[in-house]
């Protein structure tokens, strides 16, 4: 049995512990290995030691791109590709409003990875909720026998979703970012109380802009299965936001 996780930068042991529990809670499965994507040799050895301390026997190194001047060059890595994938359905809108071909690339990379690794189960975090649904759709449409499991969002103490990208934030930017979860919770509470969805979301956007977060790609209440826009709350609806801090 092979195991793949999208979440792994191994910056937080909490993430690994949660992944281990998800896999080991599935009948007949046990977490045996973790794929470490695009890590330096030094970090790979450190991460390998960390996962072995957690009782996971194997770590696999996977480099998905070519490095140029110590920085990833995705164009060079895939410039020879003659085959592409253009997903529709849940891949439309939201992320693709600002990055039209984003999920084209995601689909190619995920399929290449799955073909190389042949996992039984893959965990994709709900932090990137649209991506999670796109990968599920990809597996269904292409009849791939891989079970896609949703991983809960892991948060820092102040509520910010854990992400390797957080390391790029300055101290001031990090403080600003802590407001995202606060505004999300406040918006959810008001929508659950019956306030008009569009007005509540616009108020949330205005509050974020008032503290200096001005580039907001989207802030929207969506259906959990097809990502259609919702005008009223239901228990499974998703409040999705994407923005830039800095």
Q: What is the pLDDT of residues 211-234, one digit of tens each?
A: 999 999 999 999 999 999 999 999
| pLDDT at position 211 | 95
| pLDDT at position 61 | 65
Rounded Cα–Cα distance for residues 41 and 32 (Å):
21
Which residues touch 88 (CB under 8 Å, ≥6 apart)? none
| pLDDT at position 113 | 83
Quote the Cα angle for 65-71-73, to 5°: 40
Which residues touch 66 (CB under 8 Å, ≥6 apart)? 72, 73, 76, 77
The stretches in the chain having pLDDT less than 70 are: 1-16, 27-28, 30-44, 60-80
| pLDDT at position 75 | 54
| pLDDT at position 69 | 41
Q: What is the pLDDT of residues 199-208, one digit of tens each?
A: 999 999 999 9
Tracing tokens 């996971």 back to the chain, one arrives at 56
């Amino acid at each position: 049995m092979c195991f793949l996780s999208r979440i792994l930068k191994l910056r937080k042991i909490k993430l690994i512990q949660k992944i281990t529990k998800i896999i080991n809670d599935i009948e007949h499965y046990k977490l045996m290995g973790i794929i470490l994507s695009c890590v330096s040799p030094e970090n790979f050895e450190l991460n390998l030691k960390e996962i072995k301390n957690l009782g996971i026997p194997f770590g696999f190194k996977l480099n998905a791109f070519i490095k140029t001047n110590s920085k990833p060059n995705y164009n060079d890595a895939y410039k020879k590709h003659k085959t592409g994938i253009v997903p529709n359905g849940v891949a439309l809108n939201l992320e693709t409003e600002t990055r039209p071909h984003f999920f084209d690339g995601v689909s190619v990379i995920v399929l290449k990875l799955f073909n190389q690794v042949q996992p039984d189960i893959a965990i994709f975090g709900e932090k990137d909720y649209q991506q999670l649904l796109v990968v599920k759709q990809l597996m269904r449409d292409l009849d791939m026998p891989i079970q896609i499991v949703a991983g809960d969002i892991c948060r820092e103490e102040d509520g910010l979703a854990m992400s390797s990208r957080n390391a790029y934030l300055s101290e001031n930017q990090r403080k600003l970012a802590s407001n995202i979860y606060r505004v999300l919770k406040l918006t959810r509470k008001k929508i659950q109380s019956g306030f008009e969805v569009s007005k509540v979301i616009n108020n949330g956007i205005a509050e974020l802009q008032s503290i200096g977060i001005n580039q907001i790609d989207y802030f929207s209440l969506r259906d959990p299965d097809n990502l259609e826009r919702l005008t009223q709350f239901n228990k499974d609806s998703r409040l999705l936001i994407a923005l830039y801090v800095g």
